[in-house]
Amino acid sequence: APHKVVTWLRELAGAFHGFFADCYVVADSVEPDLRDARLAVVEAARIGLAGGLEILGVSAPEQM
């Protein structure tokens, strides 16, 4: 059921967009521990999005 993977990817992308819009990840005002935690969230989202797109057979850029 590819539509379930697509739905999951859209929800993940939407949640990540909200997080990234609301939270500074790398900034002078962000404490190192918080920065590291937020970078872990970014990496987890990257892994999830890449894996979902791979399941669907869709290529994604390595960098933007």
Q: Is the pLDDT confidence value at 28 over 80?
A: yes
Closest to 64 (Cα-Cα) out of 33, 42, 31: 42
Q: Is the pLDDT confidence value at 56 over 90?
A: yes
Instruction: Provide mean pLDDT across the span 3-24.
Output: 97
| pTM summary value | 0.86
Please give the share of the chain, as a percent, with pLDDT higher than 90: 91
* Contact (Cβ atoms closer than 8 angstroms) between residue 38 and residue 25: yes
Centroid of chain to Cα 27: 18
For residue 1, the 8-state DSSP code is: -
pLDDT at 63 (0 to 100): 80
Instruction: Provide mean pLDDT across the span 9-14.
Output: 98
Entry field: residues in the chain: 64
